[in-house]
Amino acid sequence: MPPRTDRRDRILDVAANVFATSGLRVTLHEIGDACGLQPGSFYHHFESKEDILVALTQRYCDALNGVAQDGLDLINDTGSLGIEQRVIALGEAIAACAIEHRAALLMTQYEAPVGAGEKLTELAKNATTSVIDAMTEVLVDGQSSGEIGPDLDPALLAERICHSMLHIGIGVFHRSRAARHLPTQKCQVYLDGIAVGAPARTALDRSAAMRAARAVIGTWNRGDANDRASRIRAAGRAEFARRGFESATMRHVAAAAGMSTATVYRTVSSKDDLLLDIMEEYSKAFRAGWVAVGEARSTPIERLDALMWVNINLIHRFSDEFRILLSWVRQTPPDAEAFTMGFLENLQLLEGLLLEGERDGSIRAADDAPHTRAMLMFEVLLTPNTVIRRAGLKGAHQLARQVVLRGALTRA
């Protein structure tokens, strides 16, 4: 490992800020200018942009490892905090680390950037292992004490909580004064649930909202069409997801579609237009699912449950679009609250559902402003794709029901 120096650390600090605000597309020259260094002096410390990314990611991993060790120390603390305090303390520390190391977080969330070298790929693969393991041990200890429900999978729940905490560093919602307690509030949702009482699984399965969700999901079959435009969209999705939008070319798309580049351009005018076409299909599917569930004649809790099922299926069915979104966030980090999937209409729908539930007594009341709580719940209703891959669609939904609706804590 290269020796630590004040100059080297300063370069890393400046580079972290540049990457976090401008994305991975920035050049070494731009980082050098931001540092006020001439190229010769800069290359004395880092030979390439990849070297800087590796160093930033290593610093992030070291910080997460420190957070994990502190979380494990809480288990052995003779002062013995309750499980709720331990989960919240660890969750807050993970969120703070994600915000502090936002550039590295953007590079490593779920997977390394397209084209990353072996070292960066390995670091990204294992970045969150220590904090997830620590959270798992905290939850296992909670099950042993009878504070956490015995039917919950602690490893899956830990992964869900940790990625939810890390996700706080991706957007900009955490910069709002109203959201300064966001990590605590998220943890409390997972521990206490939002529902007053425990809704029965059979009732949720048979609700009008769930029927509406299933009907919309059934329309997401896009593999039947074999016309030229559909083949180009399918090839574009695959290539943009595999190579990243910045790196993929229309020649790559044409080859994947089994067409000449000229034929592709006779159907699609540009790569940007193809991306918009692909993401429009995704956005329409997302919006259609939320509208159908929101209009269903069901209780607020039943509709929130159905929205979680829509989201799980959306991330599973549109996995390429999800990777394209992740690549876009890395290239152009969000600078407003409404980013990636944060559509204003869906937030308004969710805000109305939460208010309706509070009025009829089915959802726990909160002191937050309606918009702030809707933002919080919008993120909570999203299941990380890593959990979906490990648990499957039904398993991920069952976990969401257990913790978001009922809460992980045992109840008297």
pLDDT, mean of residues 336-344: 50
CATH homologous superfamily for the domain 48-192: Tetracycline Repressor, domain 2 (1.10.357.10)
How close are the terminal C-alpha atoms of the chain, in Å? 53
Task: Using pLDDT thresholds of 50, 70 and 90, give the confidence band for residue 276.
Answer: confident
Residue 274 Cα distances to 226, 234, 247, 248, 370, angstroms: 17, 10, 14, 12, 37
Class in CATH terms, 201-221+278-406: mainly alpha
Average pLDDT, the chain: 87
Is the Cβ–Cβ distance between 212 and 296 less than 8 Å? yes
Banded pLDDT at 342 (limits 50, 70, 90): very low
d(CA 298, CA 302): 6
Asked whether the predicted pLDDT for residue 291 surpasses 80, the reply is yes
Over the stretch 206-249, which tens digit does the pLDDT of each residue have?
A: 999 999 999 999 998 765 567 889 899 999 999 988 888 888 89
3-state SS class at 259: coil
Residues 6 or more apart in contact with residue 335 via CB below 8 angstroms: 21, 172
As a whole number of angstroms, the distance between CA 64 and CA 82 comes to 23
Percent of the chain surpassing pLDDT 70: 90
Place of tokens 């990611």: 57
Long-range contacts of 138-147 (CB under 8 A, 24+ apart): 138/71, 138/74, 138/75, 138/83, 138/86, 138/87, 138/90, 139/83, 139/87, 139/408, 141/75, 141/83, 141/86, 142/83, 142/86, 142/87, 145/83, 146/410, 147/82, 147/83, 147/84, 147/409, 147/410
Q: Return the number of other C-beta atoms located less than 10 Å from residue 347's C-beta.
A: 18
Decide if pLDDT at 289 tops 70. Answer: yes
Q: How far apart are CA 190 and CA 401, in angstroms?
A: 10
Which alpha helices (H) appear in 332-384, and where do they start and end?
Answer: 344-360, 370-380
Q: Which two tokens stand for residue 349?
A: 């729908």
Span 67-125, pLDDT tens digits: 999 988 877 775 567 899 999 999 999 999 999 998 889 888 877 777 778 888 898 88
Residues 379-392: tens digit of each pLDDT: 899 999 999 999 99
What pLDDT does 5 receive?
60
The structure tokens 């559909």 sit at 230
Supply the pTM of this predicted model. 0.89
- What backbone phi and psi angles, to 5 degrees, belong to 369? -65, 145
Task: Write down the pLDDT at residue 337.
Answer: 42
How far is the C-alpha of 215 from the C-alpha of 209, rounded, in Å? 10
pLDDT exceeds cutoff 60 at 338 = no
The answer to whether 211 touches 246, Cβ cutoff 8 Å, is: no
Q: What is the mean pLDDT of residues 175-196?
A: 84
Question: DSSP labels for 191-212?
Answer: HH-SBSS---HHHHHTSHHHHH
Under 8 Å between Cβ of 374 and 351: yes
Who wins on pLDDT, 354 or 79?
354
8 A C-beta contact, residue 279 and residue 324: yes
Confidence of residue 198 (pLDDT cuts 50, 70, 90): confident
Query: Where exactly does CATH 1.10.10.60 map onto the chain?
Result: 228-272
Q: What is the CA radius of gyration of the chain?
A: 23
What is d(CA 46, CA 306) in angstroms, rounded to the nearest whole number? 50
| pLDDT for residue 232 | 93
Three-state secondary-structure class, residue 11: helix
Pick the CATH number of 228-272 from 1.10.3720.10, 1.10.10.60, 1.10.3470.10, 3.40.190.10: 1.10.10.60
The CA distance from 274 to 250, in Å, is 9
The mean pLDDT value for 320-343 works out to 66
Where are the CATH 1.10.357.10 domain residues in the chain? 48-192
Binned at pLDDT 50, 70 and 90, residue 304 comes out as: very high
CA dist 50 and 28 (Å) reads 10
Contact 141, 67 (CB under 8 A): no
Q: Could you tell me which residues come within 8 angstroms of residue 380 by beta carbon, excluding any fewer than 6 positions away?
A: 164, 186, 189, 190, 404
Q: Count Cβ atoms within 10 A of the Cβ of residue 96 and give its class: 0-12 exposed, 13-18 middle, 19 or more buried.
A: middle
| CA 239 vs CA 116, 247, 257, 331: distances in Å | 16, 9, 10, 16
94 touches 184 (CB < 8 A): no
Residue 246's pLDDT is 80
Question: Cα separation of 364 and 3, whole Å?
Answer: 53
**376-399 burial by CB neighbour count: b if 16+ within 10 A, else e?**
bbbbbbbbbbbbbeebeeeebbbb
Measured distance CA(168)–CA(191) in Å, rounded: 18
